[in-house]
Chain A
């Protein structure tokens, strides 16, 4: 037996909000990739005096792997060409050091390196069609340094909608459970429920949560209820992850609030809320409705959200919400990819740039900040840009600065287009500044808790030794852009700001139990309509055990 790998991170100011630790100077002890209470005096030490120690970052919603992401890479070769990423100088020649390209949708290895370089060690890919799950796993296998899983698209699935149409919600739940295991997915994702099905069927989209989707028995409301209940009944570690109808439309606040009310009392996560918090009316002037939305969230502890902040600069809009991408293509004239995915979902991609002098982009930027600054419970409001939709994950440090530094924020606010900002709480001068502890919550402790990852997002006994160590800086963006050290499962992967190791991450997935009778019915559906064999559909066993143990 080899000697245990030990490390004492000595003398840093520790921010571990899950354990009530707020900037206390103390040691963090690591043995064999986990946090332990104590180590022998002669254990190796990492001098962290004067530095800030936090758990590794946890991204609850980003698009980093899978077929739609790869369509985005392929579409925007010019963006890739403008951002070369040479091989990192790793210390161990046994680890493959890979070059790549970046831009808003980096190649796989570069994605892993850049996340680790920011101090993020866990990432959830937010939208994978189960049909293409195999590709998402292959890409995540080529994304080192982060433990990763993906959410599985289910809100427009033909078999699911058929179960809802015939009132078979129990079977719908069993199907969701079977599909999670078959795809090796982590959570249920709902994107524009029913709307994408309408896009594929020729009726373009739904306008609200009570519009019929094919059958009059099927509405967005019903889809949301059935899948949210399924996720909760299956006791999945993360609840239904919901992208509401009418993303990006003026006046969509009513749809967003309707959706939240429809699910009242149920545990649910609303993603990229910024894109769903607009007042005004469709086709007319936009305005902020952030206050209405976040006040609802504040009053409903069963809900959680991530913000989907817009950051000025280039972005790639990339979503299963195909009808929205058509509208964006029609409005901007930019190039557009659409892929209808058989029996399951859609995919749309349009490159985009958020300009501070553009009225709508400025409004979107302000709405995101309002959500952050008016949120009362940071544990339920996660930092995200819906990478790469609102901007790259590389913009997180700049976003942290906007949250921590009011003077800087007010300065930035003056430079943006003011046309649509009337009524925005930001104009009233929101005084709030996030503390380091708040940042630790919205970037690691909170998302880990919301994802049900009990060993992530904190530095208590038994936690995974994913640790990020920053040098304090008056400019928070500088501080968060280049951590001094990053540890992944106890291994120092970033030292003095340089990437030195690139171990593979683990796969995060679930395998809930279900009534096996459902598979016979699904098989009949496959035989009738699918053109992939039922037997070839599941991805098969994964190397890592499911989160939360066994199941079917």
Chain B
């Protein structure tokens, strides 16, 4: 190894859903020492690349073969198993895990259920969307709706929506107007050209009034005049973009916000063009949604119990676990990335955990097989928050010992198939 270290160019960071694929990762002595181009969130996501590499069954270190056998026994004996696709795995591993859920007749879910309101809104109404690069090319008016991406999606504005030059934005940031809509404590970016302030209880009415204005109707409400003006300007521009955070927030947004945003963005495509950009977290969460959709027809909360996939969007893993109907679980991915309610429910269920840091998961004693992190130790495919697929070039692929999640999940699937 050279003193300069091994460099992996064009690595993809899954620290958030931006999935920036311009990272150069430098590895020295089997440890990541630098992630060039990465933001602070990305640098901490890559970390030093050192992860546990243990294989445990009922708390004891065992050979992999035994762990796989114990896992198959545990899951095979379950009356009602749950398969949960946690973050930090490749889509190849997600596909293999869904196959196991199908074989077991299991319940199946992912963190996408955390944003069920938004998913259901798009299933009811549709969606006016664009890939992030298209926002970069076209947007002339960008409205950040109760979100400042610099916190959870640090490079969103520098790579996509605001700063860069686009085909129809020759002067980058100067070619665009940026509006921050502050909803209670959820503020838009400080650098916005204009601001509108709304109380949380006003938000959904404001979105409704904006849609009415776009459709040529006025509410006559003096309180909503500001947002109606904004809506009319959006309708008169060339290409407006509304950016919102689709992930759960604190405080939780109005449950009807998603649908109101979807409806407004759709309506703006009558007089003008508009896309709604829904920010999603990293770890290939979007991949779980897409893989579930192409294999089962539904993006989340699938139940294979009848022998085919059924959609239970008002339920999902947290509800199934709270009802204590699950008697064994398979978690594929990072247990540290589980939603709190799911993690809490899993504490009472014997679990097979296959993923980064599995051996450290606080679940009831079952089987834990540590794997690498997708994009750091494991190559494959992941999806950006806008559903664009990207390759993962694992900088520690050839060096570090943890097993690839895909290999382990496939071995378990084969064991369950009796091979």
Contact = CB atoms under 8 A, between A and B. Distances in A.
A61 interface: no
A81 to B, nearest CB: 6
Nearest to A214: B167
A142 B91 CA distance: 12
A540 B10 CA distance: 14
B306 A84 contact: yes
Given A94-B417, A100-B295, A342 B133 contact: yes
B315 to A, nearest CB: 14
A342 B131 contact: yes
A7 B214 CA distance: 67
Given A100-B309, A134-B381, A337 B131 contact: no
B166 A529 contact: yes
A430 interface: no
Given A81-B310, A326-B269, A139 B126 contact: no
A535 B391 CA distance: 10
A46 interface: no
B117 to A, nearest CB: 15
Contacts of B266: 336
A344 B327 CA distance: 48
B9 interface: yes
A108 B295 contact: yes
A546 B393 CA distance: 25
B388 A131 contact: yes
A409 B21 CA distance: 56
Interface in A515-541: 528-533, 535-536, 540
B296 interface: yes
B419 interface: yes
Given A340-B129, A342-B131, A342-B136, A100 B296 contact: yes
B131 A202 contact: no
A341 B167 contact: no
Contacts of A200: 134, 137-138, 273
A135 interface: yes
A73 interface: yes
A103 B297 CA distance: 10
Contacts of A40: none
A335 to B, nearest CB: 4
A75 B294 contact: no
Nearest to A158: B167
Contacts of B103: 96
Given A84-B310, A142-B295, A202-B238, A342 B137 contact: yes
B34 interface: no
B102 to A, nearest CB: 6
Interface string A223-240: 000000000000000000
B273 A70 contact: no
A158 to B, nearest CB: 6
Contact of B307 (A80, A99, A335, A343): A99
A96 B410 CA distance: 12
B10 A74 contact: no
A510 to B, nearest CB: 21
B134 A86 contact: no
Interface string B384-419: 000111110100000000000000000000000111
Interface in A28-80: 65, 67, 70-71, 73-77, 80
A264 interface: no
A95 to B, nearest CB: 9
Interface string A89-111: 00001101011110100111100
A338 B307 CA distance: 33
B133 A99 contact: no
B317 to A, nearest CB: 18
Contacts of A67: 387
B99 to A, nearest CB: 6
Contacts of B208: none
A201 B138 contact: yes
A73 B95 CA distance: 17
A101 B136 contact: no
A218 to B, nearest CB: 13
B298 interface: yes
Interface in B257-312: 266, 269-270, 272-273, 275, 289-290, 293-299, 304, 306-311
Contacts of B299: 74
A340 B134 contact: yes
A144 to B, nearest CB: 12
A73 B297 contact: yes
Contacts of B296: 99-101, 107
B122 interface: yes
B232 interface: no
B122 to A, nearest CB: 7
Contact of B297 (A65, A101, A342, A528): A101
A67 B128 CA distance: 15
B295 A529 contact: no
Contacts of A109: 295
A339 interface: yes
A427 interface: no
A281 interface: no
A330 interface: yes
B21 A100 contact: no
A357 interface: no
Among A84, A99, A343, A535: residue with most chain B CB under 10 A: A99
Contacts of B137: 158, 200, 342-343, 529
29 contacts: A70-B294, A71-B127, A73-B293, A77-B298, A93-B418, A99-B102, A99-B307, A101-B297, A107-B294, A107-B309, A132-B388, A135-B389, A138-B389, A330-B270, A337-B126, A337-B127, A338-B126, A338-B127, A339-B129, A339-B131, A340-B129, A340-B130, A529-B136, A529-B166, A529-B167, A531-B136, A532-B133, A533-B21, A536-B393
The 6 closest A-B pairs by CB, nearest first: A342-B133, A80-B297, A101-B297, A134-B389, A335-B126, A340-B130
Given A81-B297, A134-B391, A536-B390, 10 more contacts: A71-B387, A80-B298, A84-B306, A94-B417, A101-B308, A138-B92, A138-B389, A341-B130, A341-B134, A529-B136
Interface of B: 9-10, 12, 21-22, 91-92, 95, 99, 102-103, 122-134, 136-138, 159-160, 164-168, 238-239, 266, 269-270, 272-273, 275, 289-290, 293-299, 304, 306-311, 313, 381, 383, 387-391, 393, 417-419
